[in-house]
Amino acid sequence: MAFDKKLLEILACPVCKGKLQYDKEHSELISTASKLAYPIRDDIPVLLENEARELSLEEVEKWHS
């Protein structure tokens, strides 16, 4: 079973309440507004701020385009 991209329509960043983008390569959900990447473990998004990693400036710019 893979991550269901339809979830992106209803999921939001718990920090800024903004939209998330799916990074298939790293199995993460990206919030450019909060500059955070939330892990997806066993096809389940872990939307906890303390589990997220900070995005680099380069990553934020990549996801903005």
Domain assignment of residue 29, given as a range: 13-60
The pLDDT of residue 22:
95
* CATH code of the domain in which 40 resides: 2.20.25.10
Q: Which residue ranges of the chain lie beneath pLDDT 50?
A: none
Number of domains into which the chain is organized: 1
In a domain, 65, yes or no: no
In a domain, 7, yes or no: no
Buried b (16+ CB within 10 A) or exposed e, 16-33: eeeebebbeeeebbbbbe
If you average pLDDT over every residue of the chain, what do you get? 93
What pLDDT, in 10s, does the model give residues 31-46?
Answer: 999 999 999 999 899 9
In a domain, 31, yes or no: yes
In a domain, 2, yes or no: no
